[in-house]
Structure 1
Amino acid sequence: MADDELLVHRAGGRLSLVLNRPRARNAVSPTMLDALVYEIDRARTDGTRVVTIAGTGDAFCAGADITSYAEPRGRRDELEEFTRRARDLCRAIETLDAVTVAAVDGPCLGGGFELALSCDLVIASDRARFGLPETRLGLIPGWGGTQRLTAAIGGPRARRLVLTAELIGAVEAVDWGIAATAVPPAQLGSELDRIADDLLARAPLALAAATRAIRGDARRRWPTEAAEHETRELLDLFETRDGAEGVAAFIAKRPPRFTGS
């Protein structure tokens, strides 16, 4: 599948996926989600050994396209389908035999961060920023982010990021174990290519076995009641006045007026 919102290139066992909505900071729209689902599903059977995910412009991904969430009350079925498909995409990325690498430049927020957390390796530019800011909108993460972040960095730090909606930079991301390395922005592309080439030089069966062994805990952990609970909580919040207000305020670029209802 080829689509302008997702740039796709296959060569020599590598699948390169580039999120391509720079004016929206590469936010995931329904169209982009469809393309990502298709390409990741295809990668299971086409001989792909390395998948790289990056973004165009000055952002990796700002999360779900919030305009898709406009006036969320009364649209539960529609929002549930989008949320569950995005959650399943993250799960599919996490369980590929191919090694997955996210190259993060600029904002990596919300669903974008959840996509990155699903990958085996994250490399960052010095200007990368990571966070799950959903509570600012009266919502919570819904693509498995609360579970993967907690597994990656532990409960105290995960609670800090989720509850306060704080953003952290590349240095902290490396220190906390979210990212493997940080490089100047101009070197991010070449570093991604270097890592991909190194991975492709490894014995294919050994590489696949290594990814399965490392991810063994993740395979046992998913699907979980906790992940389903996260999704249900998000969908319930879409039905609240505060959820609708948070989305409306974000779109209007004004402070939200939450009432606890």
Structure 2
Amino acid sequence: MSEGLRIERDGRVAIVTIDRPPANALSQGLLQELDEAFQELAADPAVKAVVVTGRGKFFSAGADLKEMQGALGDATRGRALAERGQRTFDQIEGLPKPVVAAVNGFALGGGMELLLACHVRFAAASAKVGLPETNLGLIPGYGGTQRLARTVGAATALDLILTGRMIDAAEAHRLGIVQRVVPDEALRDEALAYARALAEAKSAVSLARALRAVLAGRERPLAEGLALEAALFGELFASADAREGVGAFVEKRKPTFQDR
């Protein structure tokens, strides 16, 4: 029985919706479902892009605190809980297909850590995000300290984490936490249109290597990142889709990619 995860298909786009009222809290069961869902999406050649969103007023309020309460007092169990969430979000970030977050409302704690694991992030104008764990005597444990610092820099990440304050969509956009802010009523359509455009117009092999070049290269020394980029460029140079894409440009026609 599902903990509250729905998966729909729109052509070659998969829509993953967290639907666990009232706040879309991330229980251990729901994290397991997310992990399994993204393993399946990774293996499905019919899926070329994914949209992640929530139902109602919450993208996700974060970890299920009532469930977590039972582990308090045990450092080993606490570490295991953090590592479980990290594995799930690593699985999402590591998907070799674009993952677009459609942040429909509050994204707090683990909910913000989830959106940070997505590759491109859309937010409704009314959305609010934050990492309030220090208000509870904790710190973000599902990757938030690491991904936020890599997104906005250490000082800004510390400001948000130490204070635990929520910020609105406009500030999240200014800081680079989200890339698009759209009217609430347009969020799903805008995020889906973006994902659909990638799925329909791009080569899956080039999308996968673009993701790998940026994500695997971001923390390497520049020389190593450039070497990775060159290696991936070389792989694509030998692909059928590169021949098709360049040929279509020269011939002034629309390419027909075969994702190989």
Q: 1:215 is aligned with what amino acid? A: L
Deviations 1:139-168 (A, max 9, x none): 000111111100100111101100000111
Given that 1:59 and 1:105 are in contact with CA atoms closer than 8 Å, whether structure 2 keeps it comes out as yes
Q: Tell me which residue corresponds to 2:33.
A: 35
Rate the CA distance shift 1:178–1:89 in 2: closer, same or farther, 3 A: same
3-state secondary structure, aligned to 1:215: helix
Q: 1:43 is aligned with what amino acid? A: L
Structure 2 alignment gaps of length 5 or more: 222-260
Q: Percent identity?
A: 36
Given that 2:49 and 2:196 are in contact with CA atoms closer than 8 Å, whether structure 1 keeps it comes out as no
TM-score by length of 2: 0.79
Q: Tell me which residue corresponds to 2:209.
A: 209
Q: 1:204 is aligned with what amino acid? A: A
With CA pairs under 8 Å and 6+ residues apart, which has the higher RCO, 1 or 2? 1
Q: Tell me which residue corresponds to 2:160.
A: 161
Given that 1:22 and 1:58 are in contact with CA atoms closer than 8 Å, whether structure 2 keeps it comes out as no
3-state secondary structure, aligned to 1:139: coil
Deviation (angstroms), 1:10:
3.4
* Root-mean-square deviation over aligned CA pairs: 1.8
- Cα distance between partner residues in 2 of 1:135 and 1:56: 26
3-state secondary structure, aligned to 2:60: coil
Structure 1 alignment gaps of length 5 or more: 222-261
Q: Tell me which residue corresponds to 1:44.
A: 42
Tell which deviates more after alignment, 41-50 or 93-102: 41-50
- Cα distance between partner residues in 1 of 2:220 and 2:52: 25
3-state secondary structure, aligned to 1:28: coil
Deviation (angstroms), 1:211:
1.4
- Cα distance between partner residues in 1 of 2:41 and 2:78: 27
Q: Tell me which residue corresponds to 1:80.
A: 79
Deviations 1:17-62 (A, max 9, x none): 1001121x11101221111010111122112321111000011011
- Cα distance between partner residues in 2 of 1:220 and 1:10: 36
Rate the CA distance shift 1:88–1:218 in 2: closer, same or farther, 3 A: farther
Q: How many residues align?
A: 219
3-state secondary structure, aligned to 1:143: coil
- Cα distance between partner residues in 2 of 1:217 and 1:210: 10
Deviation (angstroms), 1:119:
0.8
3-state secondary structure, aligned to 1:124: strand
Rate the CA distance shift 1:22–1:220 in 2: closer, same or farther, 3 A: farther
